[in-house]
Structure 1
Amino acid sequence: MIAFCTISSVFSQDLKVNAFVDKNEIKIGEPIDFTLEITAKNNIEIDFPEFKKVIGKFDVVEPAKVISQENQDDVITTVKYRLTRFELGEEKIPPINVDFRIPSDTTVNSIQSSAIAINVVSVLNSEQDRKIADIESPVEYPFDWVQLGIWILFGLVLIGVVYWIWKKFFANKPKKEKEIEEIKDTRSPWQKAMESLQKMKRDELAQKGDFKVFYTELTDVFRNYLGGITTVGTLEMTSSELLELTEKLKVQMQISQKLHQFLMFSDLVKFAKEIPTLTQAETHYEEMTEIINSIEQFLVERERARKEIEQSNSQTKEKSF
């Protein structure tokens, strides 16, 4: 269907509007193309109508597409809309007003297209198809005890086969015993202490300015050495307890004094934020090495003396017989 409209005789030769659609009957929700074709002289200014959501009772599916084409004297402007409707029955696309101005005149004139009737029909073919049927009740199937028994028997057989395979190939398989060989550390406490001191020297903690860690490790070297030669747990001992345990060994007074001075200074660095010089740290490293060597030498000489006394006593007893 094509709708054609012209204005009064003054403007009938200057402007005309055609409105048409691609089909006059659609199914509910089906899109329809609605086109406005405006033909005007080159010197006429036109205000095109804007429809963002609806045109009358039709929904705008896509925004308008405007195409202009110029001839020698006229400009043909085509405005295309895509519309749809979701209610049944006949409905009209309303007339569209197009405002325009002619040269040397500020008056706004208007021209209107004709309405176009659109018939919206159902997607169902007949009245019978449109009837909504009730939901059918669930279908009941008779319970089959025979089939249930077959499935239970099949499950029991499957379990038996799995158990037989496990029993034959896995249950009686001898377990491999993992032999864990304990590696005994045969180093003496003195050897461990010397190796720890050498490691500290390589780490250069004092040269890096990490004095707190340096004095902590240096104290731990002596702590571990003392625990090794006395078989007493020294890991949780305080400095005074370490000194007391050392004095029980009956070492020389000079060794005890050096150890006391070192432990007191070490506690100041670790707990009172005392900052020693590099020279002090190196001196304490040498003193700790000397302390451990002196105690080790003292213990070796004491053990040698003990053995000599035992040997002498043994020889005396043999002569008496």
Structure 2
Amino acid sequence: MTASLIQPVLKIKKVTRLTLVCLSLLVIPHTLIRAALPAAPIVVSAKPDTNQIRIGEQFKITLKANVPTGVNVNFPLFPDTLNGIEIVSKSKIDTITAEDKSNTTYIQSLLTTSFDSGYYAVEPFHFTSLNKETGLTDTFSTEAFLITVKTIDVDTTVAIKDIKPILTVPVTWQEILTYSLIGILSIALIWFLIHLWKKRKKTDSPPQVKIPSRPPYELALEALKKTEQEKLLQQGLYKQYHSNVSDILRQYIEHSYDINALELTTDETLDRIHRKKFSVDIIDKLASVLQTADLVKFAKLIPMADENEKAMSYAYDFVNSTRPVTQSDFNNKEVSS
């Protein structure tokens, strides 16, 4: 019975060994074949779009690097000048990947020119690569090429031509309309600014004092008499009464002695009146009228009855004592004598 059990086990071991041998025969050749296949090559190039230019003309140099997947490539660092060829600008590096993703093409363009005639050899450009799987690096170079820079041909057999006269360009209706509108708008703007300036000047300027056609003292006496007839005191309108008397005297002073009494304070007005060398008694009467009016207006003083009467009496005295002497006054004085 033991022998019958051992025989199947031996058969299983033989089958397993046979399977392993078959698998090895399949895998090992595949690995060897894959290792034997060469990797996709790295191809770099640098080609100009032309090999011949005139001085100052621009041309392009196209750099390409085709690398297999899994490999990084570094483009060369370019100086400003390549042996007489100046680099004007550099484009960004474009990337084109193959449909099967087996390789990638990198493209960059250099816009270049030259300002000296002659033949210029552009040396090879060097690219470096890095295999990400193996970590190996390598360097690949492009082929050198020649650029011919020619001067501009000058025909020495032809005489130098004179400078052409200035070309007369006809004026279009659109130009006429444009300049007309600009002129009209400019004139309107200038007029508006002048009008605004005059208006502001008129507003800022002090009000002009009207010179009465009648003598100021006549107007003052007439106004005082009118204030008496209005009977403001009987109505209890003390403020209006004293304000009227004060304003009448201030207007009289302003029109008679060129003192801006309506805009000055009482102290300033009295100071100016002192310069006119009036009698002390007359100046004191004026001070009494003006100061009483200030107290009534600003301190809300209710004056006594005699103060009200004095204000009117003093006002009459001041006007009559300070008014200019007229020819009629002189004639009346002669008649009375």
Q: Which has the higher helix share?
A: 2
Between structure 1 and structure 2, the one with the greater Rg is 2
Structure 2 length-normalised TM: 0.47
Structure 1 length-normalised TM: 0.49
